[in-house]
Each structure stands twice: as C-alpha cells, then as structure tokens.
Amino acid sequence: KLLLILAHTVRALRSTEKRIARASELLIDNVRRIIAKINLPAPDDAPLKETAEAIQELSRSKS
C-alpha cells in the first residue's frame, strides 16, 4: 500500500513539474507580447530563459 501511495505521489510531482515548465514558457511568451505592444526594443532572451530554467530547477528540487 505504501508503494502505491509513493507511485501516486511521484506521478503527481511529475505532472506538477510539467505544469510549471509550461507556465514558465507562457510567462516568457507574455513578456515578449507586452514588450512588443509597448514598442520597446526586444530584449536578449537569455535572462528570460535563465529565469524559466531557475523556476524549473526549483520545482525539481522541491519534489
């Protein structure tokens, strides 16, 4: 029974990690759209990608 609970927990954590990764991608897209709407020069994507990677790393370390 304990193994079944563990399996469900692992599955839930993986699902959460995928949702966090998708949310960070959406956040980057939204930032790009906002920048385009207010006519700012396009930023270097590196800081956005680093932020997304940091968010994903945090989600992995908490699981």
Integer Cα distance of 6 and 9 in angstroms: 5
Domain residue spans of the chain: 2-62
Q: Identify the pLDDT of residue 43.
A: 60
One pLDDT digit (tens) per residue for the chain, 63 residues = 889 999 999 999 889 888 988 898 898 888 888 877 887 666 666 677 777 788 778 777 765
What is the spatial distance between Cα 63 and Cα 3, in angstroms, rounded to a whole number? Answer: 17
